[in-house]
Amino acid sequence: MSDIEIAQANEAHNMLPITKVAESVGLTAADLELYGNYKAKLSIPTLRRLRHASQGKLVLVTSINPTPAGEGKSTVTIGLGDALRLRGQKAVIALREPSLGPVMGMKGGATGGGYSQVVPMEDINLHFTGDMHALTTAVDTLAALIDNHLQQGNALNLDPRRLLWRRALDINDRALRHVVIGLGGHANGVPRETEFDITVASELMAVLCLAEDLADLKARISRIVIGYTYDRAPVTVADLGVTGAIAMLLKDASKPNLVQTLAHTPTLIHGGPFANIAHGCNSVLATRTALALGDIALTEAGFGADLGAEKFMDIKAPVLGKTPDAVVIVATVRALKYNGGVKLADLTTENRTALAEGFANLRRHITNMQRYGVPVLVAINHFVSDTPAEIADLIALCEAVGVTAVDAPVWADGGQGGLALADAVLAALQQPAHFTPLYAQATTATEKIETIVTEIYGGRNVTYTKEAQTALRTIRRNGWDQLPVCMAKTQYSFSDDAKALGAPDDFTITVRDVIPKLGAGFLVVMTGTVLTMPGLPKVPAAERMDVDENGKISGLF
Amino acid sequence: MSDIEIAQANEAHNMLPITKVAESVGLTAADLELYGNYKAKLSIPTLRRLRHASQGKLVLVTSINPTPAGEGKSTVTIGLGDALRLRGQKAVIALREPSLGPVMGMKGGATGGGYSQVVPMEDINLHFTGDMHALTTAVDTLAALIDNHLQQGNALNLDPRRLLWRRALDINDRALRHVVIGLGGHANGVPRETEFDITVASELMAVLCLAEDLADLKARISRIVIGYTYDRAPVTVADLGVTGAIAMLLKDASKPNLVQTLAHTPTLIHGGPFANIAHGCNSVLATRTALALGDIALTEAGFGADLGAEKFMDIKAPVLGKTPDAVVIVATVRALKYNGGVKLADLTTENRTALAEGFANLRRHITNMQRYGVPVLVAINHFVSDTPAEIADLIALCEAVGVTAVDAPVWADGGQGGLALADAVLAALQQPAHFTPLYAQATTATEKIETIVTEIYGGRNVTYTKEAQTALRTIRRNGWDQLPVCMAKTQYSFSDDAKALGAPDDFTITVRDVIPKLGAGFLVVMTGTVLTMPGLPKVPAAERMDVDENGKISGLF
């Protein structure tokens, strides 16, 4: 059965009312704002109350560098959560919201897979509770207000050539990557070049995910730098006078959403910033809520550990006020063989040599996570083509570097398939965690960048284009030089060359721009050619999708 | 108190759970999909069941040509509904959904006013149940799929210069009226000129509002003409193979939403197509549901009766299978004086001469509605500055042309202020209605256009630009010449000159294009300079809006 078929079979007969799921972690109907019977948002008073509740243990799930072979971070996180509950633990999961663009493009759904899924999967993958749409609306309303300001006399003296704010859609639309707007004469705006991002790449998504409450959301929105004046002075949303309107559009989107896994484990799904252009973690509010509601909170970080987990540690954790008590790195035999040079078509054939070769990728991620001072273990997301010899090899390779690896057939077996992993996690949580940040906040942007490149990526050094040097001067001039840095790098490699798989050495990272995101509170460091608006493939997933006259959806997986 | 203050005072203490409101018209919790406690969608099985229920009487509320002075169609519709219930009638209201673009721009909210409002007004004016966002997503996903088709080899031989499908946002953004997309080299799409519309102006909105169920929605989507090949053959959504995906995105949006007035009158709010570029009426499903649930269903049509009501009669009614049993034309003393030449600043001063002069506008609308063979009456939406003499004059002017006019202070007094109007409507519903369509379907587009221009607008004749003549040839060649026509004309005048107020005579309407909308099932006739993407004013309403740390919204009115 496909993922959607498994989900639908379950949804019809087995989903609990979300009020029941909420009860299992001590919430009442009064804490919830229902969106149908199976989805709810947590109310503002409830979020405020839970902020002061005692916190459980935090498990961060991350992975090796993504490959076309698939890793399955969400699937493992969900299966692990269900397994921990089978072991009698009060586990709560906190995930990111799917983006419709990739759903319609290549990826299909993003709600786990097999018997480790969150439901109702169709709703979560499509419009859910409207958070992405509210964000898109807020992003584009702000853009319209900026262009209207240019049109109506430009009292702020904004330089149309130096605007930073871009429009966004939650759609993979490469034709909007580079556009000219404002054509058609004086009544139709000021002509200028601009770009559209996918919504999850917008600063407002990062703002939503880092905001601690509505007051903080407003403060962050007010600080967003929308561009510069002709005199190169930064101009913020506060200067434009529309902080309140933009925050108002995000009022409901700022509240975490509660759903359930197929096994009824409470799951908060909230926020989904890209892990390259942004920090790639779900919202601080959702993770904090999971920590307050559960004895163990499981959360994930986007892409590989070089991007998502590094940003979790260095950007999200300081805001969250909590660092992980254990880190689980998800790997697959397939993906490691791919890293070892095997072609996509040949991954179902046993190849222990390639596995050993590709292990270099996992090994570096293990070392990186260990340097943060927290217990690390490896979850093997089991595919049907994995051979016993390959699994045994991978476990041995991990043991050789002092790390427990556990075979976790959660796709096929749900929580039952994750029991061994759950036991390993529970053992890891008994170990002491002595979190050590990668860098001190009171260092410069270039110092932070160089630390990440040499210590995490394993690169040799960093070069800066002329544009990046100019950007860094602007950043220093404005006093932003000590903000955390958010690296925008290809997810496929430790380097900025997407084709350099495994564990490349001795490479140089080229920084081509540094963009201040004062609302998010970090500097985005652009390396290589990071796309902030994906494209659709030759045969988009959309072509398979359908809905029948009763509203039943098919082809979404 | 402002509208939002009145609404909030009520929402806090007086709103009924929407399940209770539903009970008052015989619906149970099983018929509803809840969106919080105060909003619900009707389920597909319920809509199917109600389709075969007996139908109540239908009252269409329309108005004189809009002016900056304000008319208040929604306010009168709501106040009338509440008044009818005070008179013991089972009245159900069916309105259009507000568009966020105008809310952020000039208009503020669109949920009635004063003590004649629908609630929760903040939700309805902002994201509501996500219908607008689902539409925007569907419109732009289709556009991305079309541009991706061009990018990936263009197997359908689409002519990029002859694409009809445009992107949309629910935002007033004049800078997107004329854009060039696909710039930046071969990986970033095929460069071409295009336009963005506001979402409510998109054909998909008209499709949603005319669809009778999901099967019909899919059939309509499949028929949408997205453009032409290099050989000038039309290309549809079905040809592109994405009907299912687009319909899937609209699955929930296609279900009517149930809310309540301040006095708990059940109100269906669903769909909101522009009344110039589209037909300007709420959905067939919502109106049909109101007819099934109530003894009297009240609905409105956009802009003045020359646009919205004409399209209700000639486009919506044939699909609905029901014509109005009475028509209420809303007028204000202020707006008539404005039509009589008084400046906006001077409208609070009594001016009986200007009122008599401006009455010409109302008189023509009365005549137009009477020609459809249904009882007509006038509702005077009372403003505080109206003098008793002005009200008396207006009633007398209407009586002189054989029509009852009723003073209706529903803004100030809610349903109590609409009792006299309710009595007049009940009397009108006792009169026989002998509906006569304006034109036979089996006439050509030019015949239909000329009938509307001479019989409804009061114009002399029609000229066609060269572009329009070419478009009409294409329409004839493809066999679309007998579809209903949907006039796109300025709402401010009977003519295509927005400045020609009152009741202009002896004018010519210039048709500059005719656009086939096969999904909606009509031909859009472009006259004058109709904007399908509004702009923001110098001081946008957004600048007044705010949300506090508890989520309370202000400045939305």
For A268-313, what is each residue's pLDDT tens digit?
A: 999 998 888 899 999 999 999 999 999 999 999 999 999 999 999 9
The amino acid present at A8, given as its one-letter code, is Q
- Domain end point (choices B215, B249, B283): B249
Q: Do residue A102 and residue A25 come from a single domain?
A: yes
Distance of alpha carbon B10 from alpha carbon B118, whole angstroms: 11
Tell me which of B39, B41, B57, B73 is the catalytic residue: B73
Q: What is the CA radius of gyration of chain A?
A: 23
Residue B263 has pLDDT above 70, yes or no: yes
Q: Region B79-100: what's the mean pLDDT?
A: 97
Q: Which two tokens stand for residue B450?
A: 């000329």
pLDDT given at position A108: 60
Which percentage of chain B shows pLDDT scores above 70?
A: 99
Q: What is the pLDDT of residues B24-33, one digit of tens each?
A: 999 999 999 9
pLDDT given at position A4: 87
Residue B383: active-site member: yes
Residue A69 has pLDDT above 80, yes or no: no
Question: Which region among A158-167, A270-279, A308-317, B227-236 has the lowest average model confidence (pLDDT)?
Answer: A270-279
CA distances from B26 to A408, B30, B43, B46 (A): 52, 11, 14, 11
We report the CATH number of the domain holding residue A269 as 3.40.50.300
Distance of alpha carbon B252 from alpha carbon A120, whole angstroms: 14
Give φ, ψ of A349 to 5 degrees.
-90, 135
Which of B170, B190, B550 is the closest to A137 by Cβ? B170
CA distances from B33 to A125, B146, B217, B314 (A): 18, 33, 20, 33
Q: Confidence class of residue A528 from pLDDT cuts 50, 70 and 90?
A: confident
Q: Is residue B118 part of a domain?
A: yes
Q: Do residue A284 and residue A411 come from a single domain?
A: yes
Distance of alpha carbon B407 from alpha carbon B416, whole angstroms: 12
Q: Which two tokens stand for residue A58?
A: 């935090």
Active site residues of A: 73, 75, 96, 107, 275, 303, 383, 411
Is B68 marked within a binding site? yes
Residue B266 has pLDDT above 70, yes or no: yes
- Domain end point (choices A200, A220, A249): A249
Distance of alpha carbon A493 from alpha carbon A503, whole angstroms: 8
Which residue of chain A has the CA closest to B244? A546
Q: Is residue B491 part of a domain?
A: yes
pLDDT given at position A310: 97
Q: Is the peptide bond before B120 cis (omega within 30 degrees of 0)?
A: yes
Q: Do residue A34 and residue A58 come from a single domain?
A: yes
Q: Region A146-170: what's the mean pLDDT?
A: 98
Closest CA to B175 of B193, B196, B157: B196
Interface of A with B in 245-274 (CB under 8 A): 245, 247-249, 251-252
Q: Confidence class of residue B100 from pLDDT cuts 50, 70 and 90?
A: very high
pLDDT given at position A190: 97
Q: Is residue B338 part of a domain?
A: no
Distance of alpha carbon B223 from alpha carbon B239, whole angstroms: 9
Residue A437 has pLDDT above 70, yes or no: yes
Residue B109 has pLDDT above 90, yes or no: no
Q: What is the pLDDT of residues B344-371, one digit of tens each?
A: 999 999 999 999 999 999 999 999 999 9
Q: Confidence class of residue A11 from pLDDT cuts 50, 70 and 90?
A: confident
pLDDT given at position B424: 98
Which percentage of chain B shows pLDDT scores above 90?
A: 91
Q: Region B121-137: what's the mean pLDDT?
A: 96
Bridge pairing between strands B553-554 and B546-547: antiparallel
pLDDT given at position A313: 97
Range of the domain at A276: 3-128+255-330+407-423
pLDDT given at position B108: 60
Q: Do residue B288 and residue B218 come from a single domain?
A: no
Q: Do residue B123 and residue B263 come from a single domain?
A: yes
Interface probe for A, chosen from B163, B186, B221, B536 (most Cβ of A below 10 Å), is: B536
Q: Is residue B149 part of a domain?
A: yes
Residues paired with B523 in a beta bridge? B485, B516
Q: Do residue A274 and residue A244 come from a single domain?
A: no
Which of B126, B184, B543 is the closest to A177 by Cβ? B184
pLDDT given at position B507: 97
CA distances from B329 to B74, B304, B417, B441 (A): 12, 9, 17, 26
Interface of A with B in 143-182 (CB under 8 A): 143-145, 147-148, 151-153, 169-182
Instruction: Please give the tally of structural domains in chain B.
Output: 3
Q: Do residue B100 and residue B8 come from a single domain?
A: yes
Q: Is residue B349 part of a domain?
A: no
Q: Do residue B316 and residue B418 come from a single domain?
A: yes
Q: What is the pLDDT of residues B402-455, one digit of tens each?
A: 999 999 999 999 999 999 999 999 999 999 889 999 999 999 999 999 999 999
Residue B69 has pLDDT above 80, yes or no: no
Interface of A with B in 32-91 (CB under 8 A): 33-37, 44
Distance of alpha carbon B522 from alpha carbon B203, whole angstroms: 10
Q: Is residue B282 part of a domain?
A: yes
Which of A34, A182, A215 is the closest to B175 by Cβ? A182
Distance of alpha carbon A30 from alpha carbon A289, whole angstroms: 16
Q: Do residue A163 and residue A225 come from a single domain?
A: yes
Question: If DSSP states are collapsed to H, E and C, what string results for B458-509?
Answer: CCCEEEECHHHHHHHHHHHHCCCCCCCEEEECCCCCCCCCCCCCCCCCCCEE
Residue scoring higher pLDDT (A481 or B3): A481
Residue A107 has pLDDT above 80, yes or no: no
- Domain end point (choices A390, A423, A456): A423
The DSSP output letter for B156 is T
Per-chain mean pLDDT for chain A: 95
3-state SS, residue B198: strand
Residue A212 has pLDDT above 90, yes or no: yes
Residue A426 has pLDDT above 90, yes or no: yes
The DSSP output letter for B330 is E
Which percentage of chain A shows pLDDT scores above 70?
A: 99
Q: What is the pLDDT of residues B285-330, one digit of tens each?
A: 999 999 999 999 999 999 999 999 999 999 999 999 999 999 999 9
Q: Which two tokens stand for residue B98?
A: 């507000």
Q: Do residue B206 and residue B120 come from a single domain?
A: no
Q: What is the pLDDT of residues B168-217, one digit of tens each?
A: 999 999 999 999 999 999 999 999 999 999 999 999 999 999 999 999 99
The DSSP output letter for B128 is T
pLDDT given at position A274: 86
- Identify how many contiguous H helices and E strands chain A contains and give both numbers: 21, 25
Q: Do residue B416 and residue B280 come from a single domain?
A: yes
pLDDT given at position A522: 97
Q: Is residue B342 part of a domain?
A: no
Are B471 and B46 in contact, with CB atoms under 8 Å apart? no
Q: Do residue A294 and residue A205 come from a single domain?
A: no
Complete DSSP assignment for B52-79:
TS---EEEEEEES---TT---HHHHHHH
Q: Confidence class of residue B107 from pLDDT cuts 50, 70 and 90?
A: low
Q: Confidence class of residue B529 from pLDDT cuts 50, 70 and 90?
A: confident
We report the CATH number of the domain holding residue B231 as 3.30.1510.10
Which residues in chain A have Cβ-Cβ distances shorter than 8 Å to B33?
A: 36
Q: Which residues contact B4 (CB under 8 A, 6 or more apart)?
A: B109, B121, B122, B553, B554, B555, B556, B557
Q: Is residue B218 part of a domain?
A: yes
Give strand ranges (E) for A40-176.
Answer: 40-42, 57-63, 91-95, 112-113, 116-119, 158-163, 167-169
B183–A179 CB contact, under 8 Å: yes
